[in-house]
Amino acid sequence: MNITISDLFEAGVHLGHQKRRWNPKSKVFIYDHRSGISIIDLEKTYKQLDQACVFLQELANKGQKVLFVATKRQAQEIVREVATGLGMPFCVNRWLGGCLTNFETVKRSLNKYRRFLAMEADGTLATMLKKEASVIRRQMVRMHRGFEGMLEVNDLPDALFVVDVNYEDIAVMEANHLHIPIVAIVDTNSDPTCVNYPIPANDDSTKSIRIILETVSEAIQVGLVAHDLKQADNKRRKKIISNEEIASHGAVTMDAALEIEAAKVTDKDEEAAIASREKPTVTQRRRTTKKVEEKVKEKVEEKSSETTE
C-alpha cells in the first residue's frame, strides 16, 4: 500500500460515532473514548485494510468481479468514479431487494432494460406511438435508477465491497445468505462480525471514504494488470504451439503430411472455384496433388538435412 497511518489520521479515518451509539462488537477496533467520541485504532485499520487489499488483488488477478455497493449520499460519487475506472459493477442509487438472492428475476429485468436501450439507440423508440414510447421511457428512468452500473452483470459477483454495513444491511444479508465474501468499511456503530474483511474507519466522511477506496482501487488495478498480462501470454503461447505443431513432431508420416497439405491446398482451390461459380475440374485436382507432393518432398528433405546436421 502507498499510504501510511499518518495519511489515515489526516483524512479523519480515526473518528468514530458518539460513545452512546457504539456497537460493543466493534470494541476490538476501538482505541479509546474521548469527549464522548469513539476513537478507532488506526494501526488495526491499516492491518485490516492491507488484508482486504491482498484479497481483492487476488480476485482481480483471477479475473473475478467485485460489486461496489454504496447508496449513502457521501459515498455515491466516489464509488461511481472508482468502480467505473476499474470496469467493475456498482450500485449507488438504490439496492433492489433480492438483487442477489433473486438474481434470475433481476437478470430478466436487466435484459429488458438492455433491449430498451438498444431500441433508443437504433431509433426504434422514435418510430413508435407517443403513448407507447412514453411508457417505455418512464420504465427506463426507473430502471436506470436501479440498474446503473450493473448493465454488464450476467452472473453473481464474486465479492462485495460495502460502504456502511448498517445502511446496506439488506445487501449484506443477501451476500451472507449466498456465502459471497464481503469487504466493508465498518464504523464504531456497526457489527464487524457480519463481514469477512472489515475495515474499521469513519464511513461518514468523504475524505475517509475516498482514501480507503483509492487504496483498494490501486490493489484491484494491480490484479487486473497481472490478469491481462497472463491472458496475453496464454494467447501468445497458443499461437506458437499452433504454428509449430507439425514441425515439433518428428514422427509425422508421409501420408499424414500429404493429407494435411492436401486439405490446405484443396480448400484454397475449391474456394476459388466457388468464387468463380465453377466446380473444380479434374485437371485442377491433378495440379493440386502434384503441388502437395512437391511441398511434402521439400519438407521431408529439410527435416532430414536438419537431423543430419
The verdict on 71 and 211 lying in the same domain is yes
The verdict on 9 and 88 lying in the same domain is yes
- What are 273's three cell numbers? 472455384
The verdict on 168 and 297 lying in the same domain is no
The verdict on 160 and 275 lying in the same domain is no
The verdict on 54 and 95 lying in the same domain is yes
The verdict on 22 and 91 lying in the same domain is yes
Q: What is the pLDDT of residue 267?
A: 52
Share of the chain above pLDDT 90, in %: 31
| Domain-terminating residue out of 200, 232, 264 | 232
Q: What's at 141, amino acid-wise?
A: V
Work out the number of other CB atoms within 10 angstroms of the CB of residue 162. Answer: 30
Q: What band does 251 get if pLDDT is binned at 50, 70 and 90?
A: very low
Q: Where are the alpha helices (DSSP H) in the chain?
A: 5-10, 42-61, 73-86, 103-122, 124-127, 130-147, 169-177, 206-243, 254-275, 282-308
Q: What is the pLDDT of residue 309?
A: 54
DSSP assignment of 68-102 equals EE--SHHHHHHHHHHHHHHT--EE-S-PPTTTTTT
Q: What is the pLDDT of residue 278?
A: 45
Euclidean distance between CA atoms 195 and 82, whole angstroms: 21
Q: What is the pLDDT of residue 151?
A: 86
Residue 281 reports pLDDT greater than 60: no
Mean pLDDT for the chain? 81
How far from 141 is each of 109, 133, 145, 147, CA to CA, in Å? 13, 12, 7, 10
Share of the chain above pLDDT 70, in %: 77
The verdict on 183 and 303 lying in the same domain is no
Task: Residue 221: give the domain boundaries.
Answer: 5-100+156-232
- What are 4's three cell numbers? 501510511
The verdict on 17 and 60 lying in the same domain is yes
The verdict on 268 and 228 lying in the same domain is no
Q: What is the pLDDT of residue 274?
A: 47
Residue 246 reports pLDDT greater than 90: no
Q: What is the pTM of this model?
A: 0.72
The CATH number for 166's domain is 3.40.50.10490
Q: Is the Cβ–Cβ distance between 167 and 157 less than 8 Å?
A: no
- pLDDT mean over 177-187: 93
Eight-class DSSP state of 280: P
- pLDDT mean over 238-253: 56
Residue position matching grid coordinates 450493473: 150
- Assess if residue 127 is contained within a domain: no
Residue 212 reports pLDDT greater than 70: yes
The verdict on 302 and 162 lying in the same domain is no
Q: What band does 233 get if pLDDT is binned at 50, 70 and 90?
A: confident
Tally the domains of the chain: 2
Q: pLDDT by residue (tens digit) across 12-38? A: 888 888 888 888 888 888 888 888 888
- Assess if residue 295 is contained within a domain: yes
Q: Which of 126, 145, 146 is nearest to 136 (CA)?
A: 126
Q: What is the pLDDT of residue 98?
A: 87
Residue 215 reports pLDDT greater than 70: yes
- pLDDT mean over 268-285: 51
Q: What is the pLDDT of residue 279?
A: 46
Q: Is the Cβ–Cβ distance between 197 and 180 less than 8 Å?
A: no
Q: pLDDT by residue (tens digit) across 63-80? A: 899 999 999 988 899 999
Residue 205 reports pLDDT greater than 80: yes
Q: pLDDT by residue (tens digit) across 149-160? A: 888 888 899 999
Q: Which residues of 65-74 are buried (b: 16+ CB within 10 A; e: fewer)?
A: bbbbbbbbeb
- pLDDT mean over 32-58: 90
Task: Name which of 126-130, 209-213, 227-231, 275-279 the model is least confident about.
Answer: 275-279
Q: Which of 66, 69, 81, 72 is nearest to 219 (CA)?
A: 66
